[in-house]
Structure 1
């Protein structure tokens, strides 16, 4: 199996300490086929389990993030096959969404279909000025099948998500920013450095508290308010067993806010 996904960190001088990049490498368009999906799942497990990695960047390279699923592969699959296989596709990208660390998507070129769904698994999205976003599955007679119908409306609201999904239209970076689909728009040559800088900021934070915040926010979006509040209360209390809490509070009492050096 070819290496379609690489986890880059450590020896790469371009990447800040504590940050890892999950880089797609399936030219020319990073079409998301079965092998790439499984390698994304493995990369998610690798960065999740490595305590030296404190934040993550998802990146497709200088030219394109991911232009969608491999339509040639999809075209050869029938209903009976997809009944068995659809969950595997969803769970591969869900593994990225469940990375218990801050994740920033660095998007150049196209983030379409499965590529947009891949970017939606991140906590933040940095977009090139000339990037194009969208969920064009409707143009193929299908719907998004890797989280698009669920994560997109949670992010931008149901009506705006329905517009993008029903029409399948492409969205320019400025409109994506207005919709709330992306968080930052920069020149294409600044996309990756900007994402690395964002990740580096998080990598200096308290890792247990960041993981708890992500779990509380994402978990709360999937349930009712009362259950979400119970989840928050449990995670809040659990942090009092961590060194992060001791370091943060001691630093605050001795030096004021924002001076803590978390280990």
Structure 2
């Protein structure tokens, strides 16, 4: 198997588990992790022995969004390229014939939350925290959250998450439909679910998942609009101010609105 620096891949009978290693600081979805996750998903998708996949993370953080140190200062074209790689990673989950189960402990924010929105099941530990804080950085979600959240939690809850940047605890996340279950033993519950799914017809599961994801396929042009809108914001002062303020641990000072064509 391919060697990974930021991941641990395990196979237990018909279940494949991808665990993001705990980083020295906070887990972020940077370019190197995106590439490793893409390779891991491709391996498990192509392995006929694997019938279900669990995605989780070690330690007390799942994914706290993109790496601001990496994306601050990107040009518009570079930002769009970054978003394209994130979408390609999501597509490996969406277009896989195998069910994916996300198991979340700790922070699951921004692009991390967008990633688990593409999973078929989401099981939360009691200490998880969910949100789309991009608005606080002078940005917007650019990886499908604006489109997918409206379908998943409804327009009102989606606007609350995206427009305010609020963070929600697991019980609220479950109440609005963002996650399916809160558990004191989320990984054990995910393994039980994965084994149950592994005992089903692989063809029937693959077809059912394809039909479930029809709307995601139909909404691909809307998600591309999100990607373009996000990348255009890297050409405006607010994004530089917002990301810079976060890295400098100070409140941002945003200027008057300028229009961006989507």
Query: Given the two structures, how large is their TM-score scaled by the length of structure 2?
Result: 0.77
3-state SS of 1:65 partner: strand
| Number of the residue aligned with 1:178 | 175
Write out aligned runs for 1:206-245 (5 A). Answer: 206-220=201-215, 222-223=217-218
**Following TM superposition, by how much is the alpha carbon of 1:38 offset from its aligned partner in structure 2, in angstroms?**
1.2
The answer as to 2:115 corresponding to 1:118 is yes
Q: How many Å separate the matches in 2 of 1:80 and 1:50?
A: 35
Pick 1 or 2: higher relative contact order, CA cutoff 8 A, min separation 6.
Answer: 2
| Number of the residue aligned with 2:241 | none
| Number of the residue aligned with 1:4 | 6
**Following TM superposition, by how much is the alpha carbon of 1:94 offset from its aligned partner in structure 2, in angstroms?**
2.4
Write out aligned runs for 1:71-86 (5 A). Answer: 71-86=68-83
Unaligned runs of 5+ in 2: 220-262
Would you say the 8 A contact 1:6–1:43 is kept in 2?
no
Choose 196-205 or 24-33, whichever is displaced more.
Answer: 24-33
The answer as to 2:27 corresponding to 1:25 is no
The answer as to 2:168 corresponding to 1:168 is no
3-state SS of 1:144 partner: coil
Q: Of 192, 210, 213, which residue of structure 2 is paired with 1:197?
A: 192
| Number of the residue aligned with 2:102 | 105
Q: How many Å separate the matches in 1 of 2:77 and 2:205?
A: 41
Choose 106-115 or 148-157, whichever is displaced more.
Answer: 148-157
Q: How many Å separate the matches in 1 of 2:159 and 2:88?
A: 23
| Cα offsets for 1:151-173 (capped at 9, x unmatched) | 22221122211110111110111
Would you say the 8 A contact 2:51–2:99 is kept in 1?
yes
Would you say the 8 A contact 1:40–1:96 is kept in 2?
no
**Following TM superposition, by how much is the alpha carbon of 1:8 offset from its aligned partner in structure 2, in angstroms?**
1.2
C-alpha distance 204-2 of structure 1, shift in aligned 2 (>3 A):
closer
Query: Given the two structures, how large is their TM-score scaled by the length of structure 1?
Result: 0.77
| Cα offsets for 1:77-113 (capped at 9, x unmatched) | 1223223442222222222232211111000011111
Would you say the 8 A contact 2:56–2:62 is kept in 1?
yes
| Number of the residue aligned with 1:236 | none
Would you say the 8 A contact 1:41–1:96 is kept in 2?
no
Give 1 or 2 for the bigger CA radius of gyration.
1
3-state SS of 1:104 partner: strand
**Following TM superposition, by how much is the alpha carbon of 1:133 offset from its aligned partner in structure 2, in angstroms?**
0.4
C-alpha distance 184-84 of structure 1, shift in aligned 2 (>3 A):
closer
Choose 150-159 or 114-123, whichever is displaced more.
Answer: 150-159
C-alpha distance 51-82 of structure 1, shift in aligned 2 (>3 A):
same
Unaligned runs of 5+ in 1: 11-16, 225-263
Would you say the 8 A contact 1:9–1:20 is kept in 2?
yes
Would you say the 8 A contact 1:37–1:93 is kept in 2?
no
The answer as to 2:50 corresponding to 1:50 is no
